C-alpha cells in the first residue's frame, strides 16, 4: 500500500492542521483554479459526479472540503439539500457571501468543520457525500473517511476525485525536473490499492474506482502539459491509469 509524498519537488511548507487552515484562509478571497481553465474543469468534474455518483432530486448532499462551494452551487438546482463544510473559515465565509447571488442556492448551507470528525453533521443524515480535490490535503485520511461513512444513510455513497499516487508526473517527472507544485508539504496522494484499502477499513461495502483526466497545468511548463495531455490520451486508449493523473472512487455504506 503506497501513500505518495511529494518528495523531490518544491511545495508550500506546512506543519499541521493550523497551518493548512491558515493557508486556505489566505487563498479564499482570490481562490482560483490552479490546473487549467476553471469553467472547463468544473464542467468536467460535474460530468464525473453526475455519471458516477448520480445525484437525485431529493438527495441531501454533503461536500467535504467544499472551498468556496463551486460544485454545490452548480448542482443546487438538481438537489434536495446541499451542505458544504470546510476547515477554512475564510472559505466558508466566501461561500456564504456567494450564496445570495446564485439562483437556486436557497437549498444550500455552509459550515466550518474538520473532515476528521464532521461534528456539525448528524449520523445517517446524508445521501451523497462529495470530496473533490480535498482528500489529498487531509492529514488524517482514515478518520475523514470514517467520519463521512458515519454521516451516510444506509445505501448512501461517497464520491471522491483525487490525484493518483501512481501518476507519472508526481512520481517521476516533477522530481526529475525539480519543479515547484501547487501543493502543500503535508499533501499525500493515494494509489488505487491504498484508497480501496482505506475505504474498506472505514466500513464501506461496494467500492468502484477508475481513472480521470488530471493534468496539473499550473505546476508545469506548456510543453510538459502538452506531452502529458498526449499521455492522457494514450492512457485512455490503453487503460493505463498512471498516465491519466486522477483517481475517482465511489463507495457505498451498505448498513
**What is the value of pTM for the model shown?**
0.92
Residues β-bridged to residue 213? 245
For the chain, what is the domain count? 1
- The average confidence (pLDDT) of the chain is 90
Q: Domain range holding 208?
A: 3-252
* Nearest CA among 227, 163, 172 for reference residue 35: 163
C-alpha cell at 13: 511548507
Q: How far apart (Å, rounded) are the C-alpha atoms in residues 79 and 96?
A: 18
**For residue 121, what is the domain's CATH number?**
3.40.50.150
Cα distances (Å, whole numbers) of residue 219 to 23, 41, 70, 137, 214? 18, 16, 22, 17, 12
pLDDT in tens, 35-56: 667 888 999 999 999 999 999 9
Expressed in percent and rounded to 5, the helix, strand and coil fractions of the chain are 45, 25, 30
Cβ–Cβ < 8 Å for 19, 87: no
Cβ–Cβ < 8 Å for 142, 193: no
pLDDT in tens, 108-167: 999 999 999 999 999 999 999 999 999 999 999 999 999 999 999 999 999 999 999 889
pLDDT band at 1 (very low <50, low <70, confident <90, very high): very low
CB atoms within 10 A of CB 48: 18
Amino acid at each position: 500500500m503506497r501513500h505518495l509524498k511529494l518528495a523531490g519537488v518544491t511545495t508550500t511548507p506546512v506543519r499541521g492542521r493550523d497551518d493548512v487552515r491558515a493557508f486556505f484562509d489566505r487563498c479564499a478571497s482570490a481562490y482560483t483554479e490552479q490546473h487549467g481553465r476553471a469553467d472547463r474543469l468544473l464542467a468536467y468534474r460535474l460530468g464525473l459526479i453526475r455519471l458516477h455518483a448520480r445525484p437525485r432530486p431529493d438527495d441531501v448532499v454533503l461536500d467535504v472540503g467544499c472551498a468556496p462551494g463551486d460544485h454545490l452551487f452548480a448542482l443546487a438546482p438538481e438537489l434536495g439539500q446541499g451542505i458544504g463544510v470546510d476547515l477554512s473559515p475564510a472559505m466558508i465565509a466566501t461561500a456564504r457571501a456567494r450564496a445570495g447571488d446564485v439562483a437556486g442556492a436557497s437549498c444550500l448551507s455552509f459550515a466550518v468543520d474538520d473532515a476528521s470528525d464532521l461534528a456539525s453533521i448528524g449520523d445517517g443524515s446524508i445521501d451523497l457525500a462529495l470530496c473533490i480535490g480535498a482528500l489529498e490535503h487531509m492529514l488524517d485520511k482514515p478518520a475523514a473517511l470514517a467520519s463521512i461513512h458515519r454521516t451516510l444513510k444506509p445505501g448512501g455513497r461517497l464520491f471522491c476525485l483525487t490525484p493518483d499516487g501512481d501518476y507519472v508526473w508526481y512520481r517521476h517527472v516533477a522530481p526529475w525536473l525539480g519543479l515547484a507544485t501547487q501543493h502543500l508539504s503535508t499533501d499525500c496522494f493515494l494509489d488505487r490499492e491504498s484508497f480501496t484499502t482505506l475505504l474498506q477499513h472505514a466500513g464501506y461495502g461496494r467500492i468502484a474506482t477508475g481513472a480521470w483526466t488530471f493534468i496539473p497545468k499550473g505546476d508545469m511548463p506548456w510543453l510538459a502539459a502538452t506531452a502529458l495531455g498526449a499521455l492522457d490520451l494514450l492512457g485512455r486508449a490503453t487503460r493505463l491509469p498512471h498516465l491519466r493523473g486522477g483517481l475517482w472512487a465511489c463507495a457505498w455504506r451498505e448498513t
